[in-house]
A and B are shown apart, each in its own frame.
Chain A
Amino acid sequence: MSDSKTVVVISRDQVLTSLISKFLKGLCQIVEFATLGSSLDYIYGSNPAILLIDITSDDPTVVSMLNDLKSDPVLGHLSVFAVFGDSFVVPGWDNLLIDDYIKRSSLEAEIRSRIELSMQRAERTIEVNPLTGLPGNIQITKQIQKRLGAGDQFALAYADLDFFKPYNDRYGFSRGDEVLKMLGRLILNTVKDRQPHSSFVGHVGGDDIVFIMDCDAVEETSGKIIGYFDRIIPTFYDIEDRTKGCIESTDREGQKKVYPLIGISIGIVCNDRKHFAHYGEMAEVASEMKRFAKTVKGSCFKVDKRNPSRV
């Protein structure tokens, strides 16, 4: 995860760096370097959110170093601000991979709000699963940890599909993707319909989806998700399989296998009975309950109701 509160400032100009420090005081932590080269170690090691670099002089090695930095996917979140001299002519943006720029004369008036906005933008643009558009693991972790840190009471539910693999094998992965897109929409809307605020739905990957809700809403919602899913899923099968209510296939040994239609299993854990300090502990219990739900035939949800002995 990136350090969202650190801005790296790179300039040989002492006056400029002290001005910037003054303007940004209290907003963020500032780490200063004289050259980009000397800052690389720090940037790769501590993953700052913003890099503010003085390009008043046209130095080609700086530009090529900057471009290398920006094209490294590990630093994909890094937002690079260039400070230009007032006479600077904007070059072709293809040759200079930066996210924003500011002219030296407008530093005082603008830099604070521009940096602030950039930090907020970084908070908003989160990695999403390309299939469902739902936020991914980093956000999921953040959302759980944030609630645990604040001492909130909440339920974490972990859902995945049963007999999804035979479906993929039979119809191909692009039909499988259709099911996942439907699943994402279905869970998102069912959760948001019951609890529009401070609920969360994230896509771990594959057919694993998690959602966070109030403890008193999660069981009813899970029941609804299951009900809707079981009614919708037959339409994702071809008419013969739908009519039969199963998929028949032959495995490598020539054995005939019969697989039921896809079902959904949901494991639920609330932190009202047990204390969790770390998201990993809570996710583990939710996933354990999901495995328990999977042992039951057909779609179902299982809530952790074990006594609050030590976890």
Chain B
Amino acid sequence: MDSREMRSQIENIDTLPTIPSILRKLLAVIEKPKISINEIGNFIANDPVLTSRVLKVVNSPIYGFPGRISSLNQALILLGLNVVRGMLLGVSVFEAMQKTMVGLWEHSLGCAIAARIIAKKKGLKEPEEVSVAGLLHDIGKLVMGLKFPEEYGLAIAEAQKGHIFMLDAEKNQFNISHADAGGWIALKWNFPQNLVEPIEYHHKPHLSKVVPLQTAIVHFADVLTRAAGFGFSGDNFVPAVHPSVWQLLDLSDEDLKDIVSELEDSLGQAEDFLFADE
């Protein structure tokens, strides 16, 4: 399949399914008769699929301001409780669950947390937007796993057996990577550039033009989360941090120490969320 055909198939995806444990918790959340938008927001913020769904709707032309909203909280305020609740009722789960999927969920959540910590350290005005970019950075993996489950399974196996990076295994199998696929779907869903670029360039952060700092943060957060051993991104080893990112972030040893220690604390809490029985 050539990449044009792949792109059009990927762009046809309307919604992504989530993992079963999230869906079970989700149903408990929506059934609460008196739930506030904040409560729903705190829940959605832990799941890349639910977050992408909300952002897709709020950035659709129907609401009249496409490509503007990249913060989950802002999206929820603009959509309103009824819309969000209705939207969540339609969420489904992956039919063929691959074991790696759950690992990917943890990895995404871990990256979101790390991105927020780094963004705060760098004094960004809206750390939540960077956190969303971290949560969604691997959305291309979900997209490819959903659309081409068999071939993607082969790529995963190749990465495991051949001791190569997932990124290279994807390219061997598809000629494109999850970063390309994620960028396509993010564009198709009218996501703002400050989400599209970190998704598309989190492995090539030096190519980001509009939001290089946010992209660098997501890149670094991705590496840190792998190094912390939280979740499973598909790779057994940790890639190097891109030299441009060290330069751009300009973090002191002290900064790094703070970031790592805060990350360890926060990841512990995230683990509780994902694995606690509802």
- Assembled-state Cα–Cα distance A189/B77 (Å): 6
Q: State how many residues of chain A have any CB contact under 8 Å with chain B.
A: 20
Q: Is the CB of A235 within 8 A of B80?
A: no
Chain B: number of interface residues, binned into ranges = 10 to 19
Interchain nearest-CB distance for A38 vs B (Å):
48
- Assembled-state Cα–Cα distance A232/B72 (Å): 11
Q: Is the CB of B68 within 8 A of A228?
A: no
Main secondary structure on chain A at its contact with chain B? Answer: helix
- Assembled-state Cα–Cα distance A235/B36 (Å): 25
Bitwise, A51-68 to B at CB < 8 A (1) or not (0) is 000000000000000000
Asked whether A239 is an interface residue with its Cβ less than 8 Å from the other chain, the reply is yes
Closest to A188 in B: B80
Interchain nearest-CB distance for B38 vs A (Å):
9
Known: A193-B36, A231-B126. A186 touches B77 (CB 8 A): yes
Asked whether A185 is an interface residue with its Cβ less than 8 Å from the other chain, the reply is yes
Q: Is the CB of A182 within 8 A of B65?
A: yes
- Assembled-state Cα–Cα distance A286/B239 (Å): 60
Asked whether B74 is an interface residue with its Cβ less than 8 Å from the other chain, the reply is yes
Asked whether A86 is an interface residue with its Cβ less than 8 Å from the other chain, the reply is no
- Assembled-state Cα–Cα distance A234/B194 (Å): 13
Closest to B66 in A: A178
Interchain nearest-CB distance for B208 vs A (Å):
12
Interchain nearest-CB distance for A45 vs B (Å):
40
Which residues of B sit under 8 angstroms from A77, Cβ to Cβ? none
Asked whether B19 is an interface residue with its Cβ less than 8 Å from the other chain, the reply is no
Q: Is the CB of B78 within 8 A of A185?
A: yes
Q: Is the CB of B65 within 8 A of A193?
A: no
Interface residues of B (CB under 8 A from A): 36-37, 63-65, 68-71, 74, 77-81, 125-126, 192, 210
Interface residues of A (CB under 8 A from B): 131, 177-179, 181-182, 185-186, 188-190, 192-193, 228, 231-232, 234-236, 239
What are 8 pairs between A and B in contact, CB < 8 Å? A178-B68, A181-B65, A189-B79, A192-B81, A232-B74, A232-B77, A235-B74, A235-B192
